[in-house]
Amino acid sequence: MTVKITKENKLANILIRNYALIPVITRFNISLGIGDKTIDDVCKETGIHSELLLTVLNLLDDNEYTITEKMNPYIVLPMMDYLQTIYEDYLQIQVLNIERHIGRLIASAKPSNNDLQLLFSLFMEYKQELSALIEKKGQELFPYILNVYELFYSPEYTACINLEMLAPIQKTGYEYDAVNEKLRDLNSLMIKYLRGNYDENIFYAVILSLNRLKEDMAGTQRLEEKILQPIVMKMEKEIRTRNMKKR
């Protein structure tokens, strides 16, 4: 059983125990070399919301972790900033890194390998679908959440908002599933059907990078479903109740 992470824990000890949490810290703009500082110390020094950081760390550290405390709606804005950092990492770092690895794998094949060309085509399709999903979040989902947030804290806020638009939030998981199906196809293709001569070290790099991205996206989906969606639903419920009282 994984022990719950608290603000009294030394952050370095948590990262040493679970290296997979290091990207969480860098995405919060926390530099390594933190010595023996506790999570509370780091949050106070950097101005990071400790409630949000602890919730993210616990959710990604333990798949069975359940949020029992009442989450404050104010963490919605820093949560969206954090998610935007993740999306940028996907498109600007991880996807490009995999694309370079596949290009090197194709170049290493002697003679040229049609299976590798198919692999590259499938990956480029995945890249387009992931880009479209992230663009949709930026153009539709996040502006909607921001409007809900403004309306929740400012009763006189008059932005045009349709409270029946909860569907885009609830469908987030399904959208991730559809995109990630391409990643599963890529892994299956490489493991089951890839033949010929190629650099096996580069092959391992591609497989590991694809798997890291798949696990990273599963964690992000979990954060959206366990943190963002419940808070937005709570704010919407309060707004509806408030509107009913005005009638």
- Average confidence (pLDDT) per 10 residues, the chain, 247 residues: 89 96 95 96 95 96 88 92 96 96 91 84 93 91 88 69 54 70 85 86 94 92 91 85 70
Q: Which residues contact 59 (CB under 8 A, 6 or more apart)?
A: 65, 67, 219, 222, 223, 226, 227
Question: 47 and 107: one domain?
Answer: no
Number of domains in the chain: 2
Say if residue 57 is in the same domain as residue 86. no
Structural domain harbouring 49:
11-61
Q: How high is the pLDDT of residue 43?
A: 96
Beta-carbon contacts of residue 6 (< 8 Å; ≥ 6 apart)? 39, 54
Distances (CA, A) of 41 to 1, 47, 69: 26, 10, 21
How many whole angstroms separate alpha carbon 157 and alpha carbon 101? 49
**pLDDT of 172:** 59
Structural domain contains residue 1: no
Across the strands, what pairs with 10? 38
Q: Are residues 175 and 122 in the same domain?
A: yes
Within this chain, do residues 24 and 117 fall inside the same structural domain, yes or no?
A: no
For residues 119 and 92, membership in a common domain is answered with yes
Whether residues 162 and 117 share a domain: the answer is yes
Is the whole-model pTM more than 0.75? Answer: yes
Residues 6+ away with beta carbon under 8 Å from 30: 11, 42, 46, 48
Are residue 120 and residue 226 in the same domain, yes or no? Answer: yes
Same domain? 147 vs 175: yes
- The pLDDT value given to residue 3: 85
What is residue 247's predicted lDDT score, i.e. its pLDDT?
59
Same domain, 56 and 78: no
Residue 174 confidence (pLDDT): 60
